[in-house]
Amino acid sequence: MTLKLEKKIMITGGSGFIGSNLIRYLIKNTNHVLLNYDKLSYSSNNVSLSEFEGNKKYHFICGDILNSSLFSEALENFKPNIIMNLAAETHVDRSIEDPYIFVQSNIVGTSIILERSLDYWNKLSYPEKEIFRFHHISTDEVFGSLNFNSFFNENSNYNPSSPYSASKAAADHLVKAWYKTYGLPILLTNCSNNYGPFQFPEKLIPLIIMNALNEKELQIYGDGQQERDWLFVDDHAKALHQVISHGKIGETYNIGGNNVKTNLEVVSEICNNLDEIYKNKPTHINKYSDLIKFVADRPGHDMRYAIDATKIKNELNWQPQETFETGIKKTILWYLDNIEWCKVILSKGDYNGERLGLIKK
């Protein structure tokens, strides 16, 4: 059965980076009614979705997935046909400093919403029970580090390196267990590194953009030769829509951008674009690449992630539309036009651009 008619979709973590872009895409391109369930942590905010306040297709609940009773209440009141779980702690460096919150949010939180979703699903009658899906959105980091010129596929072994990726791997296994043991109709996706508008500036691309604009060092871990597959967030949103619309129950789909770049290449591309398009560059800066500084590598830093997205292309007719060159230019232009958004989200005071994730001796 495919998702064709209007559905009610509950999105956990909908005020975060990927979640807010997904909501924006679904509101503008479908007739689905959405409930955004988000606790509004340091990296999420309602400003990203303020344009939809009052929109009959959009509803919001400020809630934590660790709050079992509130989540159940939201299920009973909204009565979703689909749950898309994007609620998670996501930053590797933060997980190194404080793994406990990652275990709580990503593992315990996922188990709670699986339990409550199973209870909800078991009470449904036909046809709602047959239509229901639980879609868990995960990362390629659960597979660990690749050899050069190799790629992850849906059968890759799990081999996480950081507390973050370990917590996401555990969540993936829980989701699969709820399908195999209890029959909960699940879908699972593992994506490569996302980038684009509304990303909290602790992640590499927005951090480099903001630090360059503020004339700060552009720090690159190690020698910068770590490789990542970069996925423009709008392409990811379209892929997620295809999965809930046409994906097969119990299946995993890898979502990649077909844009493998070293971290040094990414930072250099940002610098070159800023040299070309930013009109307010200080006169004492000749090239933004002059701000690059190589620093000690991250503990347990994986060398390569890359996605083989053949399955989702062949089965669900999806492939990325943005090249890295087109996507990074759109991203830089968005940040240049939305400096105030960055100021608002950073005004919470939890993060000021400092390096995280150093193991304290």
Which residues form the catalytic set?
140-141, 164
8-state DSSP, 104: I
DSSP element (H, E) containing 330: helix 324-337
CB within 8 Å of 283: residues ≥ 6 apart:
none
Cβ proximity of 26 and 7 under 8 Å: no
CA pair distance 33, 55, nearest whole angstrom? 10
* Three-state secondary structure call for residue 347: coil
Buried b (16+ CB within 10 A) or exposed e, 84-96: bbbbbbbbbbbbb
* Residue count (the chain): 361
* Three-state secondary structure call for residue 23: helix
Q: Please state the φ and ψ torsions of residue 35, each to the nearest 5 degrees.
A: -120, 120
CA pair distance 341, 356, nearest whole angstrom? 22
Cα distances (Å, whole numbers) of residue 11 to 21, 23, 46, 240, 294? 12, 8, 14, 12, 39
Closest listed residue to residue 91, CA positions, set 165, 21, 190, 37 = 165
Cβ proximity of 278 and 214 under 8 Å: no
Cβ proximity of 293 and 247 under 8 Å: no
